[in-house]
A and B are shown apart, each in its own frame.
Chain A
């Protein structure tokens, strides 16, 4: 399969300029680029969702014009999207053959065949544990993904497009997915693999293509490049270090948590945090990291235990109270919890300090505009103006708006929950340097992250959680992937010690 000279414009803006791309049988071709580089547009044209303005798609030597996704499917191209498109109320087997059911005489669906073939497809993916009669809503993300892949295979796909397949998977599932991808490749399927994660790309890909600002920067064999080169191809500049840990002076203790409890996910947690310190919290999904943050932030107030802030015992019953005490929380789910997307940047930035920006009940529009302009400049938020809706910004810029909103409260303790999830490499580096700048000013940061290199690179100390309990607290100098990884699945500290 190859694509030549692909271009596409939306409302006069060229998002893809004359891009060539090809996939051979039995290879994994990684597609890399920052958000907005044109990866999605390219794969959507390949999947028949968008029509190219110019350019040709050739599959097996035949030129194709895809008017719809079903045209692409019949040409042997299938896509597994980042947001999985399954019907939760239907069973695995029903989902796999949806719209494509084998029929018996008289037009009745041949359920026996549906189930048998689904079983067979899943077995090919080494998913013997997946029951074909389970409803999809009962499956984990990783399992759903395998159902999607089975669905693609049911249509005899020879080219499989995978859009950030590991973005929402935990480490063990990532391993398993990579095995599946390798298997498919060995069977001769050509795979287009879109991902931000470098280790996967180096483990899986045969070739890699980098896009930037809608143009084709280069295609390389994986043996010919290293991570630094790929990153600089993506961002157009070289990033000295991926995690520039700024040295800040670590001061007195700001926050002391003793035997904190809330429900099943926050159990008997104790730790302390000092001015200028970055405390990384590592743990698997469901280990209680976010729940701990929500308890500190007053969203789910502690049922027992003590929180001592600057020497004073405090009781935090609501986010509002947490804010007034100087605790800020940049939540995990930006779209749902962090931002009011249809509202202007100005209104989002001012949201947590709206009382301070008001005289009586009236909002001082000039003061609001000023702090917003300052924030846009300080954090490099790329936007048209302060009245632009936040939902129109890219992921990285949205995240910077959330951070700006909370920094406007002048917090003493800043909790960042997955601060760089879903943001591109450039914005990620910017967010890290903002963190560095903040600790220099004496802010204490708690950073929750699923990305181990980020935790290890940014933290002064790493606190590891499992099943709602602290399993290890490790100093920067002693923190290694092995030790943190071991603690993620270990039982609580006292028992292991």
Chain B
């Protein structure tokens, strides 16, 4: 039943996306142009990378609210390592990403060792990591990165924004892992029934720790791309990005209770949100109106998908 239900949700989302694209293209002639679409791809990469990792986390029945703060912390550390510590930029990037991954490991350890519910654990580290970022940055921003660094966030490879390649390759690898490997199977099993997974000899704790690390890693990569895209480092970067990512994941059909979800669904959900944001602003809708509409689409998508599922499995 799982496959058919999922397929249905994703097909439905894809149709919805197509409709949204057509409507938006009709509303504004600046929307459906190659340049604009590629630019939107550029803009959604950071949320996208986080949302892909978040798909795994939510599919185990967990959640990671701290990703926005990790992004901010990694951005600041990147600047500090490069400017204040004096590391060469490539090394600073690696060190900053390692620190962000460590932050994810810390989340995983709190959740598995001390049995703190993920919502609470990552809510706490959301505050903690953001506080660290602000404390380290002292409200200074870092600018003046070397020219080559901007290729990542502002350049193109084969006519396509550099970071969009990273997102696409990341999504492809992630979807293969989730669908075809024993790691992916373990993720679904934990999300559906953690106790039975443990009784079956699956490595529940290790898998969870690995996933929160992956989530921290994804947020860190997103941070580097973010800094490269906007040419500057500030401690408030990524504030609220966790909610955008979770929205994309849930819109993409991943069950917030775990056990169900695909990377493809998340990806379509992501495109849908980005298209709505961009298309509506081009069509002259104000920002708050856009947010309301995205909320409405989310509820609608979940409702319709639930109706489908009920008729499918009963």
**Which B residues are in CB contact (< 8 Å) with A322?**
201
- Which residues in window 361-394 of A have CB below 8 A to B? 361-363, 387-389, 392
Cβ 8 A contact of A361, one of B182, B202, B260: B182
User: What is the CA–CA distance of A416 and B107 in the complex, to the nearest angstrom?
Assistant: 37
Interface of A is mostly: mixed
B314 contacts A342, C-beta separation under 8 Å: no
Question: Which residues of A are found within 8 Å of B180, using beta-carbon distances?
Answer: 362-363
A342: contacting residue among B2, B182, B198, CB under 8 A: B2
At the interface with chain A, which of B28-36, B55-63, B80-88, B183-191?
B183-191
B2, B183, B186, B259: which contacts A344 (Cβ < 8 A)? B2
Judged by a CB distance under 8 angstroms, whether A497 is at the interface is no
A351-B181 contact, Cβ under 8 Å, with A340-B196, A343-B189, A344-B2: no
Complex formed: what's the CA distance from A331 to B198 in Å?
A: 12
Contact residues of A between 330 and 349, Cβ < 8 Å to B: 331, 336-344, 347
B314, A341: Cβ atoms closer than 8 Å: no
- A343-B188, A355-B182, A361-B181 known; A338 and B196 CB under 8 Å? yes
Contact of A347 among B1, B181, B189 (CB under 8 A): B189
> Which of B185, B188, B192 is packed against the most chain A CB atoms within 10 Å?
B185
A354 to chain B, nearest CB (A): 5
Contact A339 B182 (CB under 8 A): no
Q: Is A329 an interface residue (CB 8 A)?
A: yes
List which B246-303 residues lie within 8 A (CB) of chain A: 259-260
Interface size on A, residues (CB 8 A): 32
Whether A347 contacts B195 by the Cβ 8 Å rule is: no
> Closest CB of chain A to B189's CB: distance in Å?
5
A269 at the interface (CB under 8 A from B): no
Task: With CB as the reference atom, state the residue of chain B lying closest to A368.
Answer: B185
Residues 1-31 of A at the B interface (beta carbon under 8 Å): 11
Interface check B138, CB cutoff 8 A: no
Q: Are A11 and B314 in contact (CB under 8 A)?
A: yes
Q: Is B197 an interface residue (CB 8 A)?
A: yes
Of all chain A residues, the one with the shortest Cβ separation from B189 is: A340
CB distance from A463 to the nearest CB of B (A): 23
A323 contacts partner chain B, Cβ-Cβ < 8 Å: yes
Residue on B nearest A318 in the bound complex, by CB: B201
Residues of chain A with a CB closer than 8 A to B201's CB: 318-320, 322-323, 351-352
A299 within 8 A of B: yes
- B306 an interface residue at 8 Å Cβ cutoff? no
Q: Which residues of B contact A389 (CB under 8 A)?
A: 1-2
Question: Would you call A138 an interface residue if the criterion is a C-beta within 8 Å of the partner chain's C-beta atoms?
Answer: no
A82 at the B interface (CB under 8 A): no
Inside 8 A of A341's CB, which chain B residues have their CB? 192-193
Asked if A358 is an interface residue, CB under 8 A from chain B, the answer is yes
Tell me if A387 and B3 are in contact (CB < 8 A): yes
**Interface pair B259/A405, CB less than 8 Å apart:** no
Q: When the two chains form the complex, which single residue of A299, A342, A392 contacts B199, counting CB atoms closer than 8 Å?
A: A299
Q: Once bound together, how far apart are the Cα atoms of A392 and B2, in whole Å?
A: 13
Residue from B2, B195, B199 within 8 A of A343 (CB atoms): B2
Q: Does B203 contact A (CB under 8 A)?
A: yes
B188: which A residues are within 8 A, CB to CB?
A: 343, 347
Please report the C-alpha to C-alpha distance between residue A337 and residue B189 in the assembled complex, in whole angstroms: 12
With A354-B185, A362-B180, A363-B185 in contact, do A340 and B197 touch (Cβ < 8 Å)?
A: yes
In contact, B195 and A336 (Cβ under 8 angstroms)? yes
Chain A, Cβ-Cβ closest to B205: A318
Distance (Å) between the CB of A416 and the closest chain B CB? 14
CB neighbours (8 Å) of A352 from chain B are 200-201
Most buried by A among B181, B182, B188, B201: B201
Which A residues are CB-close (under 8 A) to B189? Answer: 340, 343, 347, 351
Which of B181, B182, B259 has the most A CB atoms < 10 Å from its CB? B182
Smallest CB–CB gap between B256 and chain A, Å? 15
Closest-CB distance, B142 to chain A (whole angstroms)? 39
Contact of A319 among B183, B185, B199, B259 (CB under 8 A): B199
Among residues of B, the one whose C-beta sits closest to the C-beta of A392 is B1
Query: Measured between C-beta atoms, what is the minimum distance from B69 to chain A in Å?
Result: 31
Distance of A374 from chain B, by nearest CB (Å): 19
Looking at the assembled complex, report how far the CB atom of B63 sits from the nearest CB atom of chain A, in whole angstroms: 20
Interface residues in B170-219 by Cβ distance below 8 A to A read 177, 180-183, 185-186, 188-189, 192-193, 195-203
Task: Provide the residues of chain B in CB contact with A329, threshold 8 Å.
Answer: 199
Residue of B nearest to A343 (CB): B192
State whether A337 touches B196 (Cβ < 8 A).
yes
Query: What 1/0 mask marks residues of chain B from 107 to 119 whose CB sits below 8 Å from any chain A CB?
Result: 0000000000000
What's the minimum C-beta distance from A404 to chain B, rounded to whole angstroms?
A: 12
B3 — which chain A residues lie within 8 A by C-beta?
Answer: 387
Measured between alpha carbons, how far is A343 from B185 in the docked complex, in Å?
10
- The answer on a CB contact under 8 Å between B202 and A351 is yes
Given contacts A11-B314, A331-B199, A389-B1, contact A339 B183 (CB under 8 A): no
Q: A351-B202, A362-B181, A363-B180 are in contact. Are A339 and B2 (CB under 8 A)?
A: no
Give Cα A362–Cα B176 distance, bound, in whole angstroms.
Answer: 9
Contact: B198 with A319, CB < 8 Å? yes
Known contacts A11-B314, A352-B201, A405-B200, A339 near B193 by CB under 8 Å? yes
**A172 vs B143: C-alpha distance when bound (angstroms):** 79
Distance between Cα atoms of A417 and B192 in the complex (Å) = 23
Residues of A within 8 A of B183 (CB): 361
- Contacts A11-B314, A331-B199, A352-B201 hold; do A336 and B193 have CB atoms under 8 A apart? yes
Residues of B within 8 A of A319 (CB): 198-201
Q: Which residues of A (118-169) have their CB < 8 Å from a CB of B?
A: none
Residue of A nearest to B3 (CB): A387
Would you list 30 pairs from A and B whose C-beta atoms are within 8 A, ordered by A residue?
A319-B201, A320-B201, A322-B201, A323-B201, A336-B195, A337-B196, A338-B199, A339-B193, A339-B196, A340-B197, A340-B200, A342-B2, A342-B192, A343-B2, A344-B2, A347-B188, A347-B189, A351-B185, A351-B200, A351-B201, A354-B185, A358-B182, A362-B180, A363-B180, A363-B181, A388-B1, A389-B1, A389-B2, A392-B1, A405-B200
Q: Which 8 A-B pairs have the closest CB atoms?
A: A320-B201, A361-B181, A323-B201, A351-B200, A340-B193, A340-B192, A337-B199, A354-B182
A residues touching B (Cβ–Cβ < 8 Å)? Answer: 11, 299, 318-320, 322-323, 329, 331, 336-344, 347, 351-352, 354-355, 358, 361-363, 387-389, 392, 405
User: Could you list 13 further interchain pairs (A-B, Cβ under 8 angstroms) beyond the known A342-B192, A347-B185?
Assistant: A322-B201, A329-B199, A336-B196, A340-B197, A342-B2, A342-B193, A343-B189, A351-B200, A354-B182, A361-B177, A361-B181, A362-B182, A389-B2
